[in-house]
Structure 1
């Protein structure tokens, strides 16, 4: 019965094109489709996200994302001693099931909030599983403006691996001392860990201002090993969450601001494709994941849309 429910959860319950036609015919949703006047780019809302994590300090807001192991089976069947970078790890809802599923995977995880990183460490410490803490290395970083630290993949090793050079924006800040813990996991004879085999961007890029997204994609490309995979999952265009926003909350094309000041972008396939191919990745998979679910509290049916993607760095 459990396997049947999981299979049903991951199936496509409806076609995205049908939802698009439905939205375009609904007069009450026209404000989502109207052209948006050109304006200055929205600043990074990193402080708003820090306040958000402070309010949800119990760590209960995000549930453990066990479905990712079925969505991205490469995480389960990868080789031993694999390095993974989780960008925007939050309270650890993504890294916890990964660490549980694979005993020889090392996870390096960053976020802009020191409070949420400490909460992630606390949750892993109480997960009642062997060796989770020893394989989890969090570090503080606003990745929308700061580069990944050199100990992930130093410039010399990037050059030797024929990594794509980064075109840093004018407000780029190199991050040298962002770890919450020491670097004792780094061998004395190594200048860096030599890059990562996987990068997970799970409901992370939608919180990044549009004008910063290409920098994040380029930065991810730089620390990924040749042949490595970037695994992407985020809000899709016309997701139920998007359609619930009021006209005054729309601050750009497919961009909305919540009452707490945090931003959310809703992706089309073309935007995701252009973003990662522009950074040098090869597209392996890219599709809308369209799922119907029922709100347990009020019984209302919900149509959820996510973008699922797998991209590879050329070998």
Structure 2
């Protein structure tokens, strides 16, 4: 835009109006019906899981295959909007530690590292290929010190939790969007061997961006509790994910429903769509204090 920054809109319509419109649309009523597992059939794709609910191994393998198919990274766009949604990442004190859970190819990590030259990011994912892609993207950026700022490690948090003892007591803060409609058995191996850069003593921020919706609902409390244990007292968790009646949800077919507000794509990957109340309950049950934007 000739040097001008594009204007960012996080609330393009009224949530209540959108909800009413969706719930009055007869063609979309299948999204609202109680889920009857006995009436559902597996997705037709041979790559999708044939059992419901899918096992954690099936879910992890599906995401690994996903990253293999999109290894060039063109599927993802850099999430620059996160710095507007979570300005605390910009104003963090020097050498603050961030744990990015489910970093994928680095679309969340890059804008954080570019904006804050003294922040340290530890990033985990279940896919080694995704971690390598993230590392390559960070190293190719001339304004980031990859060795000092970025430490990726292989970890499927939904299966094995975080490595080591990351627990610390105290009160923590959770952060959510104030709208429900959002643009929303791996070996543990820590790539950083320098103990002075260890995140095992707690981090200042956890980012959980479009990660929670990708795992089975029954494992979400475990993952959230792991995030809670990783934070220092007073730390902040930045959460963004798919919301109820997101257009991504409305495009999914009845045959893709595998649970209440849960869907399986043809490639076996999962998507869950949260209501604001449900997201609050999940995080508060883990001990978080929820902070909402005005």
TM-score above 0.5: yes
Q: Of 161, 178, 184, which residue of structure 1 is paired with 2:189?
A: 178
Structure 2 unaligned residues grouped into runs of 5+: 39-51, 173-184
| Distance verdict in 2 for CA 1:192–1:272, change over 3 Å | closer
Q: Is the 8 A contact 1:41 1:211 kept in 2?
A: no
Residue 191 of structure 1 deviates from its aligned partner by: 8.0
Structure 1 unaligned residues grouped into runs of 5+: 165-172, 288-315
**Whole-Å separation in 2 of the counterparts to 1:111 and 1:233:** 17
User: How do 1:1-20 residues align onto structure 2 when only pairs under 5 Å count?
Assistant: 5-7=6-8, 9-10=9-10, 12-20=11-19
Q: 2:175 maps to which residue? A: none
User: How do 1:21-36 residues align onto structure 2 when only pairs under 5 Å count?
Assistant: 21-36=20-35
Cα displacement string for residues 32-65 of structure 1 (whole angstroms, at most 9, x for unaligned residues): 1111125763322110000000000101111111
Residue 80 in structure 1 maps to residue 90 in structure 2: no
Q: Of 100, 111, 124, which residue of structure 1 is paired with 2:125?
A: 111
User: How do 1:26-105 residues align onto structure 2 when only pairs under 5 Å count?
Assistant: 26-37=25-36, 41-44=53-56, 45-105=59-119
**Whole-Å separation in 1 of the counterparts to 2:187 and 2:157:** 13
TM-score (norm 1): 0.79
SS of 2:158's partner is: coil
Residue 89 of structure 1 deviates from its aligned partner by: 0.2
| Distance verdict in 2 for CA 1:48–1:192, change over 3 Å | closer
Q: Of 217, 221, 225, which residue of structure 1 is paired with 2:232?
A: 225
**Whole-Å separation in 2 of the counterparts to 1:233 and 1:69:** 12
Q: Is the 8 A contact 1:108 1:138 kept in 2?
A: yes
Q: 2:280 maps to which residue? A: 273
Residue 72 of structure 1 deviates from its aligned partner by: 0.4
Number of equivalences: 266
Q: 2:245 maps to which residue? A: 238
Q: Which of the two has greater strand per residue?
A: 1
Q: Which has the higher contact order (CA 8 A, sep 6+)?
A: 2
Q: CA RMSD in A?
A: 2.3
Q: 1:261 maps to which residue? A: 268
User: How do 1:192-231 residues align onto structure 2 when only pairs under 5 Å count?
Assistant: 193-231=200-238
